[in-house]
Amino acid sequence: MEYILLVAILFIAELVYFKIADKYNIIDKPNERSSHTQITLRGGGVVFYFGALAFFIYSGFEYPYFFLGLTAITIISFLDDIFTLSNKIRLVIHLISVLLMFYQWDLFSLSWMWIVPALIGVIGTINAYNFMDGINGITAWYSMVVLALLAMVNTEVHFVDENLIVFAMLGAAVFAFFNFRNKAKAFAGDVGSVCMAFIVVFLLGQLIITTGNFIYILFLVVYGIDTVWTIVRRLLKKENIFQAHRSHLYQYLSNEAGINKLYVAFVYGIIQYLIGTAIISLTQESVAVQVGVSIGIIVVLSIGYLLLKRNILKRYVEPRD
């Protein structure tokens, strides 16, 4: 019953936000780098934060430092959606938020040789998650898939209060109702993608710390492959990797190849789900087997990705250049 009530509250909160966004002109206008063609409300992903807030209150204020960090990074991302803030300001708040997450994880008992790489990895993952939010449905669907995988593991390895996962999934489902459609009612905005990334990374970190097994990072391997190889290609072309663009594979598939955006988003999630379930089964094997299969997954996925992207570039992009 509490889940039904939460869904109703989140729907109402989202609709109220739409009224506010419409009144104050919080919109996303299409430009040459956009994958959409009409003006759309921005920031609908704020409902992810409302879901986390509901959990925080419902749980009796569990994981306070995580939630404080989530609040800070959500607010700065929302302000960036409205005003376009300085990169330095955003980076400082991201750094503070991640450090609060680390405090929740009790990482500061470790050597700085662990903390520094973890800091770079977490901030990089949050930003990569944000970069992948470029077509209708992809953030909501992919996040629901990852959260479902985490929920599956949590039934066997209790690494977090299950309600945090459920409340986050319900927030994603409510947003998907307005976004997983050909003409989206609203986009997630930085506030949505960054907020969800922070939640997902926190959950993954909790799982890895509890089990001591880094293989679970492959719950994000589909996003990771597209992000890393896109960055590599942009570096080779001497482009500014921090500048907005639409050169991810999912964008080429949707924009240049003309495949329905919802199909592309759905396939990204399905591939991640299949890999994720394989990873869960793989945790019963020896470390050597886990490492070998993980490398194999990354190599095969990379080869498939590069071949597909090369074909699309040669067929749709290069003839126009």
- Taking the model in full, what pTM does it have? 0.95
Q: Determine if residue 62 is left, alpha or beta; phi over 0 gives left, psi from -120 to 50 gives alpha, anything else beta.
A: beta
Average pLDDT of the residues in 95-104? 98
Say if CB 176 and CB 137 are below 8 A apart. yes
pLDDT for 196-208, tens place per residue? 999 999 999 999 9
Percentage of residues of the chain with pLDDT beyond 90:
86
SS3 28: strand
What does the alpha-carbon distance between residue 289 and residue 168 come to, in Å, rounded to a whole number? 33
What does the alpha-carbon distance between residue 223 and residue 217 come to, in Å, rounded to a whole number? 11
Domain that holds residue 165: 2-320
Give the number of domains in the chain: 1
Read off the pLDDT band of 28 (50, 70, 90).
confident
Read off the pLDDT band of 27 (50, 70, 90).
confident
Neighbours of 250 (CB within 10 A): 24
Say if CB 132 and CB 248 are below 8 A apart. yes
What does the alpha-carbon distance between residue 199 and residue 274 come to, in Å, rounded to a whole number? 22
186-187/40-42 β-pairing? parallel
Top-confidence residue, 31 or 228: 228
What does the alpha-carbon distance between residue 40 and residue 278 come to, in Å, rounded to a whole number? 38
Whole-number pLDDT of residue 276: 98
| Token pair for 124 | 């990089």
Using CB atoms within 10 A of its CB, is residue 316 exposed (0-12), middle (13-18) or buried (19+)?
A: middle
pLDDT for 265-303, tens place per residue? 999 999 999 999 999 999 999 999 999 999 999 999 999
Average pLDDT of the residues in 157-177? 98
